[in-house]
Amino acid sequence: MSVSTLTPVLSAQWDATRSWTLATYEAGGGYAGLRHAFTQEPAAVLATVKDSGLRGRGGAGFPTGLKWSFLPAPDGGPRYLVVNADESEPGTCKDVPLMMATPQYLIEGSIITSYAIGCHHAFIYVRGEVLHVYRRLLRAVEEAYAAGYLGKNIMGTGYDLDITVHAGAGAYICGEETALLDSLEGLRGQPRLKPPFPAVEGLYARPTVVNNVESIASVPAIVMGGSDWFRTMGTEKSAGFGLFSLSGHVVRPGQYEAPLGITLRELLDLAGGIREGHELKFWTPGGSSTPLFTAEHLDVPLDYESVGAAGSMLGTRALQIFDETTCVVRAVTRWMEFYAHESCGKCTPCREGTYWLKAVLRRIEAGQGSMEDLDVLLDTCDNILGRAFCALGDGATSPVTSALKHFRAEFEQHITAGACPLDPAASALFGYPPRDAGRLAGQMAGTVQA
């Protein structure tokens, strides 16, 4: 496996000096895609994206061009593009570096997409916590206006577009597209009932396309390179390239832009392997909401179909890698704490289920679980999965059920031994503060922590 496996497109300019400026972006060929798009009818641009086989990079992998084509015929009223830059899934860290390094890629993609779907006002909804990204986007939009890529009569084409960058307030659920729309409208971020789907009644009840940052950023290259070029990468049903985010116990964590269908084994080669002297224990193929894989799955091609067939989901290609020093109970408990904290509270299964799972997991981790607890964990997951209102609840069950599937013995060890068999400090990549025994003890004594 060599570096030639990589297909840097989105990340091609990340190492350029001041890569985030418009000047650098243009010097590297930026905005050629837009110029090319403007030579075509919007429908032709849409057709190219549709033919390319680009699938949504936000997790679900829905064909992007197809989504755009769901918009009803123009009725004279506004229609919107909303870029989902809320990136909050544990492990997922591709959109943030992309927007930090080359925000113009996203702006150009947004202009082409808006042109293709007949939108004159696009929104970029950025995760609230990443203030630096927000600032960088604001500046990028400013630069694009100044250069005449945004505003009225863009490049003399008669086409108008405004882009508004909006910062969220820091809620994972606001990445769910309908919750995002509510949040963008100034309401509490909670998923909406579907139908109507955003394509029909989205932002302000108008036809709306919601796409992930990476999906939109991929558009300029597709328009420039053509759908056939895009299809030379990846697999038949999972075309193109994507950012693979390796984190955890690897020698060189980071973004690896590669064709879909690459395997973890290949990626690990590029990343220098698992940290010295350790071996792979488990990993997530697409973020914490995708069922865990183990070393068994090193050769599963990382495309939508193969990962699905192996029992997980490609998700956002967020590969969190854990070596044998990691306690799976501990990892799952931390994830569950995240879900319990981020559950929006709308529906019973997720709101109450994650609270319960968290409580039981914490108890098991502290060595105070019982064997019945394992059944409760599985049955509660069963009562959440497919019963929750949105995919957050479903996703919350993935780590639990997959961990119990692959590592049930480790859960049982915690119960029988009355303690965690592993040393958490050993799994840390850096000096680990002494375990906060007081917190757990306090909890067991009856402190309520929701």
Partner 1 sequence: MTITTPKQAGGGVAPSNLVTFQIDELEVSVPKGTLVIRAAEQVGIQIPRFCDHPLLEPAGACRQCLVDVSMPDREGNLRPMPKPQASCTLTVAPGMVVKTQRTSAMADKAQHGVMELLLINHPLDCPVCDKGGECPLQNQAMSNGRSTSRFVDIKRTYPKPISISTEILLDRERCVLCQRCTRFQEQIAGDPFIALQDRGARSQIGLFSADVLGFGGDVPAGPAALDESGRPFASYFSGNTIQICPVGALTNASYRFRSRPFDLVSTPGIGEHDSCGSAIRIDHRRGAVLRRMAGDDASVNEEWITDKDRFAFTWQSAPDRIATPLVRDETTGQLRSASWAEALDVAAAGLAAATTAGGGHGVGVLPGGRLTLEDSYAYAKFARAVLGTNDVDQRVRPHSAEEDAFLGHAVAGRTVGGAGSVTFTDLEQAPTVLLVALEAEEEAGVTYLRLRKGVLAGRTAVFSVAPLASRGLDRISGTLVAAAPGTEPEVLDAITGSAPLGQLRTVADGLTTAGSVILVGERLAAVPGGFTAVLRLAERTGARLAWIPRRAGERGGVETGALPGLLPGGRPVSDARARVDVAAAWDVPSLPTTAGRTTTEILRAARKGKLSALVVGGVELADLPDPAKAVRAIEKVGFVVSLEVRASAVTELADVVLPVAPPTEKAGTYLNWEGRPRPFPQALASTALADHRALDALAAAMGAELGLRTITAVHAEIDQLGAWDGARIDAPVESAAEPTELAPGQAVLASWHLLLDAGRLQDGERFLAGTAKRTVARTSAATATAAGLTDGELVRVSSAHGSVTVRLAVTAMPDLVVWLPTNAPDCAVRTSLRADAGDVVQLAPADPAGDDVVSTDSAGSDNNDEVSA
Ligand X SMILES: Cc1cc2nc3c(=O)[nH]c(=O)nc-3n(C[C@H](O)[C@H](O)[C@H](O)COP(=O)(O)O)c2cc1C
Per CB under 8 A, residues contacting partner 1 are 171, 173, 188, 190, 193, 340-349, 351-356, 359-360, 363, 372, 376, 379-380, 382-383, 386-389, 446-448, 450
Q: Which of ligand X, ligand SF4, partner 1, none interacts with 423 (beta carbon under 5 to 8 A by kind)?
A: none
Q: Rg for the chain (alpha carbons), in Å?
A: 23
Separation of alpha carbons 241 and 6, rounded Å? 9
Q: Which of ligand X, ligand SF4, partner 1, none interacts with 247 (beta carbon under 5 to 8 A by kind)?
A: none
Q: Is the Cβ–Cβ distance between 25 and 31 less than 8 Å?
A: yes
Q: Which of partner 1, ligand SF4, ligand X, none interacts with 353 (beta carbon under 5 to 8 A by kind)?
A: partner 1
H or E element, residue 121? strand 121-126
Q: Which is nearer to ligand X, 68 or 411 (CB)?
A: 68
Q: Which of partner 1, ligand X, ligand SF4, none interacts with 448 (beta carbon under 5 to 8 A by kind)?
A: partner 1
Q: Which is nearer to ligand X, 84 or 398 (CB)?
A: 84
Q: Is the Cβ–Cβ distance between 295 and 280 less than 8 Å?
A: yes
Q: Which of ligand X, ligand SF4, partner 1, none interacts with 215 (beta carbon under 5 to 8 A by kind)?
A: ligand X
Q: Is the Cβ–Cβ distance between 440 and 366 less than 8 Å?
A: yes
Q: CB under 8 Å to 34, separation ≥6 — which residues? A: 108, 111, 112, 149, 155, 220
Helix intervals (H) in 147-250 = 177-184, 213-217, 219-231
Binders of ligand SF4 among 384-403, rule CB under 6 A? 388-390, 392-393
> Which amino acid does the sequence have at 94?
K
Angle at 161 between CA 187 and CA 25, to 5 degrees: 105
> Which amino acid does the sequence have at 194?
K
Q: Is the Cβ–Cβ distance between 60 and 175 less than 8 Å?
A: no
> Which of 11, 48, 52, 88 touches ligand X (CB under 6 A)?
88
Contact flag: residue 70 with ligand X (CB under 6 A):
no
CB of 212 to ligand X, least distance (A): 3
Task: Point out which residues bind ligand SF4 (CB under 6 A).
Answer: 173, 191, 343-347, 350-351, 388-390, 392-393
Task: Point out which residues bind ligand X (CB under 6 A).
Answer: 56-60, 62, 64, 84, 86-89, 172-173, 175-177, 210-212, 215, 390-392
